Copies of this chain bind each other. A is one copy, B any other.
Amino acid sequence: MDAESRKIPTHEVTYARLRDMILYGHLEPGAAVTIQGLVSDLGAGMTPVREAIRRLSAEGALEAQGNRRVSVPKMTAGMLDQVAFARLTIEPKLAEMAAANLTPALILRLESIDAQVDRAIRKGDIPAYLEANHAFHFCLYEASDAPVLVDMARSMWLRFGPSLRVVCAQHGADALPDQHGQALAAMRAGDAAGLKAAIELDLAQGVDQVRLALEQGNI
């Protein structure tokens, strides 16, 4: 309602809110997403909600079921393979590119975010962990100056988020991967290849957790 918030349009806010609900696991895989439901839940009008749903469908975060229904996609083995391939191709590349642009200030910022990740793990606060972990990765990726590839990574995280949340809820937060220490050490040393490898390992661990849960039918 301020001068600040007045400038940013409702459909952007609505998009961001729905996106975060998906990304941080507030919506379970398979959950139905209805326009009317969001209109009352988010207190927004119909048009902004429609647009948010369309955008997120285009990004793969939501799935149109043909008959006018939309839902959070359920992860399948095939989808996981594809997402894993894309993530393991794109994200290490982004980390490597980011390495060339890292400044001491940025490394400091990443260390502070990693501290938040640790704190969330110690407290077992899963939403906080998911949010901080996401922030760590994308703070790094955005330094790559490669917005096209960052967009692709974002899309993959949106497809991955809901399942990761389910896995976290099962295993507890302390079984979670935190390869960030390795990554930070490589950053400080200016070791691009080492950073790339650390990120690669971090991703692979997350993917393996989800794959395991999937094979056991827990998702």
Interface string of A120-148 (1 = CB under 8 A from B): 00000000000000000000000001111
Task: Chain B residues near A147: list those with CB within 8 A.
Answer: 79, 82
**A79-B148, A146-B78, A152-B86 known; A57+B55 contact, CB < 8 A:** yes
Given contacts A11-B54, A56-B58, A79-B147, 13 further A-B contacts (CB under 8 A): A47-B47, A51-B51, A51-B54, A55-B55, A58-B58, A58-B59, A59-B59, A60-B148, A82-B147, A86-B149, A89-B89, A152-B152, A152-B155
Contact A60 B151 (CB under 8 A): yes
* A90 located at the interface, meaning its Cβ lies under 8 Å from any Cβ of chain B in the complex: yes
Task: Chain B residues near A90: list those with CB within 8 A.
Answer: 86, 89
Chain A interface residue number, banded: 20 to 34
Q: Would you list which residues of chain A between 47 and 66 have a CB under 8 Å from chain B? A: 47, 50-51, 54-60
* A93 located at the interface, meaning its Cβ lies under 8 Å from any Cβ of chain B in the complex: yes
Q: Which of A58, A78, A86 has the most CB of B within 10 A?
A: A58
* A159 located at the interface, meaning its Cβ lies under 8 Å from any Cβ of chain B in the complex: yes
* A83 located at the interface, meaning its Cβ lies under 8 Å from any Cβ of chain B in the complex: yes
Contact A82 B47 (CB under 8 A): no
Picked from B11, B89, B149, the residue with its CB within 8 Å of the CB of A82 is B149
Contact A145 B55 (CB under 8 A): no
Contact B78 A145 (CB under 8 A): yes
